Structure 1
Amino acid sequence: MNGISGLQVDLRQLIIAMEAAVSLVGMDDRNHGKRVGYIASQLGKQLEYSDEAIAFAFELGLLHDCGVSTAQMHSYLINNFNGNDAQIHCENGHRLLNGFKPLAKFATPVLYHHTPWEELERTDVSAQVALMANLIFISDRIDVLAATHSETDSSPVSEKVVSSIAKYSGTYFEPSFVWAFKQVAKSEVFWTALEERHVTCYTRDMGQFDNSRTLNIPQLKQFALLMADIVAQRSPFTDLHSVRVANLAKYLAVSLGLVKERCEKIEIACLLHDLGKRYIPDTIVEQPGTLTDSECAFMKQCSYETYEILRHVNGLEDIASWAAFHHVGLDGVGHPFYPYEKDSRIEARIIAVADVFQELVQDRMYQEGMSLNLAIDKLDDLVIKDKLDSKIVILLKQHADECFDLAKGQELAQCEG
């Protein structure tokens, strides 16, 4: 077995992690994707779908909103039954999933998951794709209506939601789905299972089933690139940051003489290190000036959010900790884990140097990046303060021009080594 084929990561667990990252943008509701997956799977069971089709529906529910990039877009989708702008996130989700082969089968259903049934029947898609897309549409609207009625109406939620959905049978929703919903809605368990603690446990349990679909390290890198793309959608300020940090960190790891698999895993950790930034409110993401104390508190939580997303994926334990601890200095101080935990492994130290250096030299809309010499001075200052590893900084300085080019977005052939 060669050096880069040893790690195998379960695809469903990665899909669950992807949903966890995507749902951060909702802030007040982190379980919409989980509930849609659960509802879709229950309707599929009621209609006696095959186990394979039910599993597909569940995973499609988890992935259906991967194209949502901002809290504003999330709010719009919650407050509009089928507004004209809903198609934007469908198209974005289709683009993201279609570019990654292991998830490409979900791309077209995601593209059409806000298309009314009477219109979907006239499109040039297969019957199975049309059914799955509409199954997610009705599941999505059931969840939104349930949340809306529970907040505004004292009448039984089930009666209100069933009544609302039934009005759209044959127009927005395929009639058999409406029938199936009427059946499952009679069970109190169906509604109880949608509560946060239950749907979270259900999703976690589903992630533990062995479904014989795994990704190796090259495929995992492609998945990490997809996730970096999702993070970059939040703001032009974050665009390509994770990719450039990954290129630089891998170059440093290779130059340090680490074995190939460790270098590949460092690269993946860098691509995933800012997943927690999905949690930051839009107003803070777009903030060009100095942050307030409360805004800084959100920023400090990002690393922990990254850790929580990744740590439940079997095989990603090292990658999760390297990505999460990239803000912890050699003195053990760093948000948000200090003073309880400290990771002093070389991988986390490499990522820390690459992350700081790339941020220093990156051009932003409101500020030009630092020159090479000034950025190195800043690194030296952080070494003196016991924040960065002097050995890694010295290595960067020995390859200063190459590192500067990588941090600015210029790939090098050596980085492939």
Structure 2
Amino acid sequence: MDIAKDALSIRLRDMIIAIETAVSLVGIDDTNHGKRVGYIASSIAQQLGYSREDIEYAFEFGMLHDIGVSTNATHQKLVTEFDWDNAQEHCQIGYDLLKSFSPLAHFALPILYHHTAWQPLKNLDIPQYVALMANLIFLADRIDVLAATHYEHDILLARKDIDNEIVRQQARYFEPTLVDAYLELSKSEAFWIMLQGQHIYRFTWEMAARKTQTHELSLDEIKQLSQIMAYIVDQKSPFTAEHSLRVGELSLYIAKNYGLDEEQCKKIEIAGLLHDLGKLNIPDEILDKPGKLNDDERAIMFHHSYETYEILRHIAGLEDIAQWAAFHHESINGKGYPFHKTALSLSTEARIIAVSDVFQALAQARPYRKGLDVNKIVTILHDMVTEGKLDQSIVHFVEQHQDECYRVAVGSY
């Protein structure tokens, strides 16, 4: 049997929704931006009589358009300025992330241009379809930005002001037929009500359940996409650059040499790559703080592994990976977080990721200290075993292979 192709396959759309859920966490207090852009874009496409394939493309493009955004600072600029001077940076990052990933490569070029105004865009030497779809997402994105502060209370009163601003900006920024279609949609109260919290969630999950999108990802493709998602997380802070990547690699190294089978090794690497997805919802200033966190900050940090679980657990086929990734702060003694799992509930895979996470974090420089040498790291790991936090057998294995583990953890293996 070909393990990479047959042992595990995941629906691509489920992963697209997971990407959107993760990236939208950067919004902190507003975590539905990608969903709403997907809805607005697909609604405009439907209003224009586009094919079912193009409507679904617009939805998925809307969900993915901000894949290049990792920090709260970038997100804040994008949602408070109509045409931010540095907007192209996240477009370039998104393009670079997707251009070599075959299942999503057809979104790369439109993502590159989704903040380019229509007047210069229409004259570029790119396919007309790419230009039109890029501008559709730009329009949907700006509509949502203008509407975001009005959802849940006065959106039906504010829609006329939103219409007027879009019309005012049309000459430079937007293709006219797209704006006309939007203005027709805007007359419907249902269009705006759907954009509110509980309704936009329902719409997204209904789209996820549709059978029109049948592409499934192999285990190797899931790994490649997980590396993309790990990059997004690791770019959130200069002090955690490559942390997820190295935890994945270290977990794989330990798993292979600890005797796990090939499929489990591949899956544990994926779990390691994805373990910190929830940190996208942690404010930049907490992750970058040059000192220990206070009680309030720690309480916020306690959320991140649960957010990882929520992102991953809805993906059919990733149930075990969701748990391994989300349990990386659980302890053998039941005093970890956020689920307070005990030894009986913690698999070998989860225990390996927990050790790998601590080892790599200690080896990496952080705002309040330099990276530690391997002997100090092993001492701390043994202290954590004594405290009932980490698995004794896995820490013993790491000690026996401490130099190799260190080289993997710092990227020099």
Correspondences of 1:25-174 after superposition (within 5 Å): 25-148=26-149, 156-174=157-175
Name 1:296's counterpart in structure 2: 298
Q: Partners in 2 of 1:325 and 1:155 — Cα distance?
A: 43
Tell me which moved more, 182-191 or 333-342: 333-342
Indicate the RMSD between aligned Cα atoms, in angstroms: 1.8
Task: Name which of 335, 351, 354 aligns with 1:352.
Answer: 354
Q: Give the secondary structure class of the aligned counterpart of 2:124.
A: coil
Tell me which moved more, 236-245 or 368-377: 368-377
Q: Partners in 2 of 1:318 and 1:153 — Cα distance?
A: 42
Name 1:392's counterpart in structure 2: 394
Q: Partners in 2 of 1:48 and 1:341 — Cα distance?
A: 56
Q: Partners in 1 of 2:365 and 2:152 — Cα distance?
A: 45
Equivalent residues, number: 411
Correspondences of 1:254-273 after superposition (within 5 Å): 254-273=256-275
Name 1:407's counterpart in structure 2: 409
Are the aligned partners of 1:34 and 1:203 in contact in 2 as well (CA < 8 Å)?
Answer: yes
Name 1:287's counterpart in structure 2: 289
Whichever residue aligns with residue 317 of structure 1, its letter is E
Assess, with a 3 A threshold, how the Cα gap between structure 1 residues 342 and 11 changes in structure 2: closer, same or farther. Answer: farther
Cα drift, residue 368 of structure 1: 2.2
Structure 1 unmatched ranges of 5 or more: 412-417
Tell me which moved more, 189-198 or 66-75: 66-75
Are the aligned partners of 2:331 and 2:342 in contact in 1 as well (CA < 8 Å)?
Answer: no
Name 1:2's counterpart in structure 2: 2
Q: Partners in 2 of 1:4 and 1:175 — Cα distance?
A: 47
Assess, with a 3 A threshold, how the Cα gap between structure 1 residues 120 and 152 changes in structure 2: closer, same or farther. Answer: farther
Whichever residue aligns with residue 97 of structure 1, its letter is L
Assess, with a 3 A threshold, how the Cα gap between structure 1 residues 53 and 355 changes in structure 2: closer, same or farther. Answer: same
Q: What whole-Å deviation, never above 9, does each CA across 1:26-48 have from its counterpart, x for those lacking one? A: 11110011000000000000111
1:189 aligns with 2:197: no
Q: Partners in 2 of 1:330 and 1:181 — Cα distance?
A: 55
Q: Give the secondary structure class of the aligned counterpart of 1:108.
A: helix
Identity of aligned residues (%): 51
Name 1:311's counterpart in structure 2: 313
Q: Partners in 2 of 1:59 and 1:154 — Cα distance?
A: 25
Assess, with a 3 A threshold, how the Cα gap between structure 1 residues 390 and 159 changes in structure 2: closer, same or farther. Answer: same
Whichever residue aligns with residue 19 of structure 1, its letter is E
Cα drift, residue 153 of structure 1: 7.6
Q: Give the secondary structure class of the aligned counterpart of 1:4.
A: helix
Whichever residue aligns with residue 385 of structure 2, its letter is V
Q: Give the secondary structure class of the aligned counterpart of 1:367.
A: coil
Assess, with a 3 A threshold, how the Cα gap between structure 1 residues 341 and 124 changes in structure 2: closer, same or farther. Answer: farther
Q: Give the secondary structure class of the aligned counterpart of 2:96.
A: helix
Structure 2 unmatched ranges of 5 or more: none
Q: Partners in 2 of 1:184 and 1:404 — Cα distance?
A: 57
**TM-score for both structures, normalised by structure 2:** 0.95
Q: Give the secondary structure class of the aligned counterpart of 1:382.
A: helix
1:324 aligns with 2:311: no
Are the aligned partners of 1:328 and 1:342 in contact in 2 as well (CA < 8 Å)?
Answer: no
Q: Partners in 1 of 2:224 and 2:149 — Cα distance?
A: 38
Q: Partners in 1 of 2:9 and 2:404 — Cα distance?
A: 32
Cα drift, residue 364 of structure 1: 3.8
Q: Partners in 2 of 1:111 and 1:342 — Cα distance?
A: 48
Are the aligned partners of 2:147 and 2:155 in contact in 1 as well (CA < 8 Å)?
Answer: no
Correspondences of 1:373-392 after superposition (within 5 Å): 373-392=375-394
Q: What whole-Å deviation, never above 9, does each CA across 1:278-304 have from its counterpart, x for those lacking one? A: 111111111120111011011111100
Are the aligned partners of 2:156 and 2:189 in contact in 1 as well (CA < 8 Å)?
Answer: no
Whichever residue aligns with residue 333 of structure 1, its letter is K
Tell me which moved more, 346-355 or 401-410: 401-410
